[in-house]
């Protein structure tokens, strides 16, 4: 039972354009959401997070939007850079429970 | 500050064998979580240890076990290995738990079961 889903396994975007990565969840009890970025041969690194009491959080080129009624969150990267090419995982958690990850989306930013 | 280290980085085993993976967290971190990453499944939570106690457990069979020592170092053991156990095993440490943004991942141990 995949509680956190990333339905697009891959995304290709031109440098300078916007990258939008999507994530859906099924458990309405999740109250905190995080995005991680993973390069090959490295562990995931934290990117940005959002609490369920907010609908938007911004950090430089990265913005996460949360739509609780649709149980959907998205990560916007503007402008996209070649160094953003990586696998992006969304994750959700409730209280101090375990962190549930999505299956990941591979982003490729081309010149 | 040194990062999270995992040993070994690569491992090849055969079916039926057992394996022990090690994770050394960042100094001062008391929470260590373990994840299995496989293609198509993403990162799946195995368990979390905090101050030598298992605090949370994922939906994995009993062949997967772990422990944490008083210095917060953690080990994960898989007994009676199966082909499907081939994966990247990641550990992550934080000061108080996975909810923290400051959860740092190690580079992982890639296990291949033949």
The DSSP result for B6-62, as a single string, is: EE-SEEEE-TT--EEEEEEPPTT--EEEEEEEETTTEEEEEEEEETTEEEEE-S--T
Inter-chain residue contact A43 with B106, CB threshold 8 Å: yes
Contacts of A96 in chain B (CB under 8 A): 55-56, 97, 99
**Gap between the Cα atoms of A102 and A6, Å rounded:** 6
Residue A1 has a pLDDT of 66
pLDDT higher than threshold 70 for residue A3: yes
Residue A39 contacts B where some CB pair is shorter than 8 Å: no
Residues A75, A35 contacting (CB under 8 angstroms): yes
pLDDT tens column, B20-62: 999 999 999 999 999 999 887 889 999 999 999 999 899 999 9
Residue B42 has a pLDDT of 84
The two tokens of residue A45 are 């690194």
Contacts of A99 in chain B (CB under 8 A): 33, 45, 98-99, 103
**Among B5, B45, B53, B52, which Cα is nearest to B25's?**
B5
pLDDT higher than threshold 80 for residue B101: no
Secondary structure of chain A: what % helix, strand, coil (to 5)?
Answer: 5, 55, 45
Residues B55, B3 contacting (CB under 8 angstroms): no
Note if the bond before B34 is cis, omega within 30 degrees.
Answer: no
Residue A69 contacts B where some CB pair is shorter than 8 Å: no
Interface residues of B toward A, Cβ cutoff 8 Å, are 4, 33, 35, 40-45, 48, 55-58, 90, 92, 97-99, 101-108
Residue B100 has a pLDDT of 66
Phi, psi of A19, rounded to the nearest 5 degrees: -110, 130
Residues 6+ apart with CB under 8 A from B97: A96, B31, B48, B50, B55, B103
pLDDT tens column, A21-57: 999 999 999 999 999 999 988 899 999 999 999 999 9
pLDDT tens column, A50-102: 999 999 999 999 999 999 999 999 999 999 999 999 999 999 988 767 889 99
Inter-chain residue contact A99 with B99, CB threshold 8 Å: yes
Residue B102 has a pLDDT of 72
Mean pLDDT, rounded, of chain B = 92
Residues B43, A44 contacting (CB under 8 angstroms): yes
């Amino acid at each position: 039972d995949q509680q956190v889903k990333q339905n697009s396994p891959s995304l290709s975007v031109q440098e300078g354009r916007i990258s939008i990565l999507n994530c859906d969840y099924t458990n309405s009890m999740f109250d905190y959401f995080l995005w991680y970025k993973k390069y090959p041969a490295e562990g995931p690194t934290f990117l940005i997070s959002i609490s369920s009491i907010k609908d938007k959080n911004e950090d430089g080129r990265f913005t996460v939007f949360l739509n609780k009624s649709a149980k959907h969150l998205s990560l916007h990267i503007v402008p996209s850079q070649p160094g953003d090419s990586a696998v992006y995982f969304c994750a959700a958690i409730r209280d101090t429970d375990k962190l549930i990850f999505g299956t990941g989306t591979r982003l490729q930013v081309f010149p | 500050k040194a990062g999270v280290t995992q040993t070994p980085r690569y491992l090849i085993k055969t079916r039926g064998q057992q394996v022990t993976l090690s994770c050394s967290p960042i100094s001062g971190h008391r929470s260590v979580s373990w994840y299995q990453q496989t293609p198509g499944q993403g990162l799946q939570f195995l368990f979390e240890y905090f101050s030598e106690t298992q605090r949370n457990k994922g939906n994995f069979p009993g062949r997967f076990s772990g422990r944490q020592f008083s210095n917060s170092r953690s080990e994960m053991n898989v007994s009676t290995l199966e082909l499907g156990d081939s994966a990247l095993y990641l550990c992550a440490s934080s000061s108080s738990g996975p909810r923290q943004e400051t959860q740092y991942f190690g580079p992982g141990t890639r296990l291949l079961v033949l």
